[in-house]
């Protein structure tokens, strides 16, 4: 995205000058042109105007602004706040571009103009995607089988009533047959601090992973190709946003998994309670502090996410355990070309054994180490530290509104980064399963170069060549930012 700051200076009805600044998302804010006009040291905001929001309610945009009308600011402080506010409005993921313009209309009076270009909110999206953990797993371990592809359709509406509500309806066939409905209200009160979300999901599979061996998943399909697993889940989530960057989430959910008896022939410990149905209620609390400049592919800022989950709230629940998760990511911009990204993840179950459907470890998203994409390293505790030093090769933007006959697709941004990556981590398996000891309870690392392509609507493509510490190397292709 390209954001433009305009400063229009007016005295009475005569235009006295113009300062214009263009910069790429994530770059530092600094003047590109100095002109001989005395800028006031302090200014008072008279009004804030919003234009371009055909559907989005004005108060949803104003909620993201730290600046307020009727308040006096030091000029330098105001410019810094405008830069931060533009990023917050853009990270609503409702707009292609966001511009905030301070208009000086008197010696110490200004008007603020917020100009937005809305995205296309209702997006029917065909599903044609791999069912496996990543592209390398499908391409190599599963022999590029088209039977392991999901197809169908998703319908997104990311701004149902103009209040940033999100509706997602999924109907899916293929490897995993699924029906999923999600509806979220970011704010349900006038002060825009409290929100709610609901989700219902139903999944079936005829082929499932029943265990792991040699640090790879072992899949099974019975002779009759019966449905081996049916999974129903639902949850309600309450959210509280007391400040711009801090979010609190409390979730209450229910999960029910029923498997075919043949699964226990392959793994008698698939469940741990001696029945072919596993059901339990779950409750969790999450805290998120998010100051990233661009959520889909950050180049500056920080993210902290802390979570505590309780599986099994009642005596009749089949699975009872506690799980703790911590994610701390930091992003540094050195100049217009270079930035560094570093992310630390800690995950731990309190119990010694979990049903196979609840296993964690490296190889299950979002936890991975480059060079180990073919593997799953399972255990009760994990520590992963991911690092990328990136150099911006391209930063282009094309006007495509003459070629694309849909609103919300006016520009095509293209950014290409060259990255040098180094990841390392450790998985502790208390059970020390013999067939997986090659990689569990050992220090692991991977490294190598990569190319990251970032285009519109938060789409990221990554091509990497990675080596690991057991001497294995390969090319890997992925569809999301690493962290």
Average pLDDT over residues 173-196: 92
pLDDT given at position 38: 64
Domain end point (choices 116, 143, 177):
116
Do 365 and 238 belong together in one domain?
yes
Nearest to 327 by CA among 299, 341, 347, 298: 347
379 and 354 housed in the same domain: yes
210 is a domain residue: yes
Alpha-carbon span 34 to 20, nearest angstrom: 10
In CATH, what number is assigned to the domain containing residue 17? Answer: 3.10.20.310
Q: Are residues 159 and 291 in the same domain?
A: yes
- What number of other Cβ atoms are within 10 A of residue 180's Cβ? 16
| Residues 105 and 133 reside in one and the same domain | no
- Looking at the fold, whether 104 and 193 belong to one and the same domain comes out as no
Q: Using CB atoms within 10 Å of the CB of residue 399, give its burial: 0 to 12 exposed, 13 to 18 middle, 19+ buried.
A: exposed
Residue 91 and residue 128 in one domain: no
Question: In the predicted model, what is the mean pLDDT of residues 23-29?
Answer: 40
Percent of the chain residues topping a pLDDT of 90: 65
d(CA 89, CA 62): 9
**DSSP per residue, 409-428:** --EEEEEEEEEEEEEEEEEE
Please indicate, yes or no, if residue 196 is contained in any of the structural domains.
yes
Q: How confident is the model at residue 5 (pLDDT cuts 50, 70, 90)?
A: very low
Q: Tell me the per-residue pLDDT of 232-267, one tens digit each, with 9 for 90 and over.
A: 999 999 999 989 999 999 999 999 999 999 999 999
**Tens of pLDDT, residues 97-151:** 899 999 988 888 999 999 999 987 777 778 888 888 878 788 888 878 888 888 8
Last residue of a domain, one of 116, 149, 168: 116
> What does the alpha-carbon distance between residue 231 and residue 201 come to, in Å, rounded to a whole number?
8
**pLDDT, tens only, 382-432:** 999 999 999 999 998 887 776 666 665 667 889 999 999 999 999 999 988
Q: How many domains does the chain have?
A: 2
207 and 90 inside one domain = no
For residue 483, tell me if it sits in a domain: no
Range of the domain at 385: 122-478
Q: Are 379 and 353 in contact (CB under 8 A)?
A: no
Indicate the pTM of the whole model.
0.81
CATH code (residue 467): 2.40.160.50
Q: Do 166 and 192 fall into the same domain?
A: yes
State whether 50 and 185 are in the same domain: no
pLDDT band at 11 (very low <50, low <70, confident <90, very high): very low
Residue 224 sits in the same domain as residue 298? yes
pLDDT at 125: 77
Stronger pLDDT, 416 or 477, i.e. the higher one: 416
Q: Give 269-317 pLDDT, tens digit per residue.
A: 899 888 999 999 999 999 999 999 988 889 999 999 999 999 999 999 9
89 and 170 together in one domain = no
What are the CA-CA distances from residue 260 to residues 229, 264, 317 (Å)? Answer: 6, 8, 20
Looking at 116, 151, 166, the residue that finishes a domain is 116
Contact 430, 379 (CB under 8 A): yes
**pLDDT computed for residue 16 by the predictor:** 32
* Inter-residue long-range contacts of 21-26, CB under 8 Å, 24+ positions, other chains counted: 24/336, 24/395, 24/415, 25/1, 25/87, 25/90, 25/293, 25/294, 25/299, 26/293, 26/294, 26/298, 26/299, 26/300, 26/333, 26/339
């Amino acid at each position: 995205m390209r954001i433009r700051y305009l400063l229009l200076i007016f005295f009475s009805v005569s235009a006295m000058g113009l300062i214009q600044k263009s910069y790429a998302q994530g770059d530092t804010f600094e003047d590109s042109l100095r002109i001989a006009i005395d800028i006031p040291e302090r200014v008072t905001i008279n009004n804030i105007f919003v234009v371009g929001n055909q559907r989005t309610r004005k108060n949803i945009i104003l909620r993201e602004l730290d600046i307020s009308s009727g308040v006096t600011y030091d000029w330098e402080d105001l410019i810094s706040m405008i830069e931060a506010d533009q990023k917050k409005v853009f990270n609503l993921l409702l707009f292609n571009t966001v511009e905030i313009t301070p208009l000086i209309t008197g010696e110490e009076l200004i008007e603020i103009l917020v100009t937005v270009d809305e995205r296309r909110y209702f997006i029917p999206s065909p599903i044609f995607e791999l069912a496996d953990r990543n592209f390398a797993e499908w391409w190599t371990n599963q022999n590029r089988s088209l039977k392991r592809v999901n197809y169908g359709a998703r319908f997104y509406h990311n701004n149902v009533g103009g209040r940033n509500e999100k509706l997602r309806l999924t109907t899916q066939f293929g490897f995993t047959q699924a029906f999923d409905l999600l509806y979220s209200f970011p704010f349900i009160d006038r002060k825009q601090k409290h929100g709610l979300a609901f989700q219902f999901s139903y999944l079936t599979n005829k082929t499932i992973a029943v265990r792991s061996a040699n640090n790879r998943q072992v899949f099974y399909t019975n002779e009759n190709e019966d449905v081996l697993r049916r999974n129903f889940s639902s949850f309600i989530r309450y959210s509280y946003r007391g400040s711009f960057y801090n979010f609190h989430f409390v979730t209450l959910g229910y999960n029910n998994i029923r498997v075919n008896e043949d699964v226990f022939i392959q793994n008698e410990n698939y469940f741990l309670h001696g029945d072919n149905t596993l059901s339990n209620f779950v409750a969790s609390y999450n805290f998120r502090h998010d100051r990233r400049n661009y959520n889909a592919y950050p180049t500056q800022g920080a993210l902290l996410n802390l979570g505590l989950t309780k599986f099994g709230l009642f005596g009749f629940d089949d699975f009872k355990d506690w799980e703790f998760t911590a994610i701390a990511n930091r992003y540094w911009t050195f100049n217009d070309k270079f930035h560094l990204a570093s992310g630390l993840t800690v995950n731990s179950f309190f119990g010694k054994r979990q049903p196979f459907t609840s296993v964690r470890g490296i190889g299950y998203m979002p936890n991975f180490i480059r060079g180990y994409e073919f593997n799953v390293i399972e255990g009760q505790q994990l520590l992963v530290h991911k690092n990328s030093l990136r150099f911006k090769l391209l930063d282009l933007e094309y006007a495509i509104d003459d070629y694309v006959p849909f609103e919300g697709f006016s520009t095509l941004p293209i950014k290409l980064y060259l990255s040098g990556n180094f990841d390392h981590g450790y998985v502790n398996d208390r059970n020390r399963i013999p067939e997986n000891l090659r990689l569990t309870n050992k220090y692991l690392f991977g490294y190598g170069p990569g190319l990251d392509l970032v285009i519109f609507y938060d789409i990221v493509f990554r091509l990497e060549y990675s080596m690991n510490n057991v001497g294995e190397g390969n090319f890997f292709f992925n569809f999301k930012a690493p962290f």
